[in-house]
Amino acid sequence: MNRYSNLFFLIIILILTLFMIINPQETVKASADGLKLWFSVLVPALLPFFIVSELMVNLGFVHFLGVVLEPIMRPVFKLPGCSSLVIAMGFTSGFPVGAILSRKLYEDNLLTANETERLVSFTNNSSPLFILGAVGVGMFGSPAIGYLLAASHYISNLLVGILWRSRARKSPWVDKPNRGLLKRGFAALIESQKSNNQSVGTMISGAIKNSLNNILAISGFIIVFSIITRMFTVWGIMDILAKLLINVFASLNITYQLAYGLGMGIFEITLGANTVTFSSQAPLLHQLIIVSIIMGFSGLSVITQVMSIMAGTPVRLSFYLLSRFIQMILSIVITYSGYHLFIKSLQPITTFSIPYYKIMYSLHAWSISLYCLIAAVLIIAILLIIRLLCNN
């Protein structure tokens, strides 16, 4: 099987190389667009999370969370308390922070193979920067739509995590008395720091190096898939795919533009969502549902990023894809319900026909990223407060 997959991959690379030789201008333009998007948005949106989360793990904070938040995470997700850090960071930062942190905890023996696979399946999300800023305000011209799409995306992913608790293997964990919970948490924190002989300077330096390596790897994926989508567009493959999707979803009577956007979204989430908003003749509900599907699937660009990070771990591509399919179904239901409850009365809403990269560049990515980082800290703080209140 591995031989055939390598052969298929070789054929794709050869076709891509042929396109680069025949269409050098298109290749350079696609690469430049991908690089601009990475530098202007993804670096400020992800790099702070990479560095901070790496330091939290190295400083032993996850051990503290593992003790204190275990009684919350086990009943809800059947995951250890340390996974709360992954959930908080994954839901406030964006792809692929959840995968990076999950792998880190797995390598530190804080997660089992089963727990790692389930955690990765629902902690890789589109960032609030993308959903609220680029899609909601930039593409649809409506903050309300941004909130609806964000709620649909995050709630459906949380439901995936709760659903997969049924796949959890029996754990020897026993709910310990609430008394002395913080004391045991700090004891675990101190014990982990004693076993870590690295100085603070070394840890900071290592966190920055690892974060830069991860962010550079992401840039490679962005550029490659920018070229692939441009190749499919120039050679008319996206047109064929759009017509195929129209036939597949004939009962839904989707327009060509929506089908084309869905086809683009299969490969790259930003291009797909932006293409859908150009379909001004399509009903708004249809646009929102297609965008929800695209964000739920996340695109092959993101999926390959996540799976490359999890390479060498027990995380299966089939399980991750099944999780994405379940999230797409749930997000459709939530988007449909939310539209009729909150959005329908706000029509008409005018969408913007602006290239996606101009929308993204207009956002203050650094400031939004810091706000999201604060939100992640607040989520962890709220969980801690809830647990402390349960002690009384």
Query: pLDDT tens digits for 345-357?
Result: 765 555 544 454 4
Q: What is the pLDDT of residues 140-155, one digit of tens each?
A: 888 889 899 999 999 9
Q: Return the H-helix or E-strand segment holding 46.
A: helix 43-58
Residue length of the chain: 392
Q: What's residue 370's pLDDT?
A: 67
Q: Cβ neighbours of residue 163 under 8 Å, at least 6 residues apart?
A: 326
Q: What is the pLDDT of residues 252-291, one digit of tens each?
A: 778 898 999 999 999 988 888 888 887 767 888 999 999 9
Rounded to the nearest integer, the mean pLDDT of the chain is 83
In this prediction the pTM is 0.86
Please tell me the least confidently modeled range out of 96-110, 161-175, 317-331.
161-175
Question: pLDDT grade, residue 4 (50/70/90)?
Answer: low
Instruction: Give, in order, the Cα–Cα distances in Å from 66 to each of 87, 100, 113, 239, 328.
Output: 13, 18, 17, 50, 31
Q: What's residue 171's pLDDT?
A: 61
Q: Is the pLDDT of residue 164 over 80?
A: yes
Q: What percent of the chain has pLDDT over 70?
A: 86
Q: What's residue 387's pLDDT?
A: 65
Q: What is the pLDDT of residues 178-214, one digit of tens each?
A: 556 677 777 877 777 777 777 778 888 888 898 888 8
Instruction: Tell me the DSSP string of 275-321.
Output: HHHT-TTS-HHHHHHHHHHHHHH-HHHHHHHHHHHTTTSS--HHHHH
- Residue type at 189? L
Q: What percent of the chain has pLDDT over 90?
A: 29
Q: What's residue 172's pLDDT?
A: 57
Q: What is the phi-psi region of residue 95: left when phi exceeds 0, alpha when psi lies from -120 to 50, beta otherwise?
A: beta
- Helix %, strand %, coil % of the chain (to 5): 80, 0, 20
Q: Is the pLDDT of residue 120 over 90?
A: yes
Question: pLDDT grade, residue 361 (50/70/90)?
Answer: very low
Question: pLDDT grade, residue 173 (50/70/90)?
Answer: low
Question: Would you call 142 helix, strand, or coil by DSSP?
Answer: coil
Q: What is the pLDDT of residues 294-335, one digit of tens each?
A: 999 999 989 999 999 999 899 999 999 999 999 999 999 999
> Mean pLDDT across the stretch 206-223?
87
Q: Return the H-helix or E-strand segment holding 250.
A: none
